[in-house]
Amino acid sequence: MNLKTVELSADMNCRACQYRITGALKQQDGVKSNKADFRTQKVTIEFDPSQIDETELRQVIDNALNHGLSLE
Ordered domains of the chain (ranges, CATH) = 4-67 (3.30.70.100)
Instruction: Give the model's pLDDT for residue 1.
Output: 72
Tell me the C-alpha distance between 61 and 56, whole Å. 9
Q: What is the pLDDT of residues 41-56, one digit of tens each?
A: 999 999 999 999 999 9
CA-CA-CA-CA torsion sign (44, 47, 50, 55): negative
Residues of the chain with pLDDT under 50: 69-72
Query: Over the chain, what is the mean pLDDT?
Result: 91
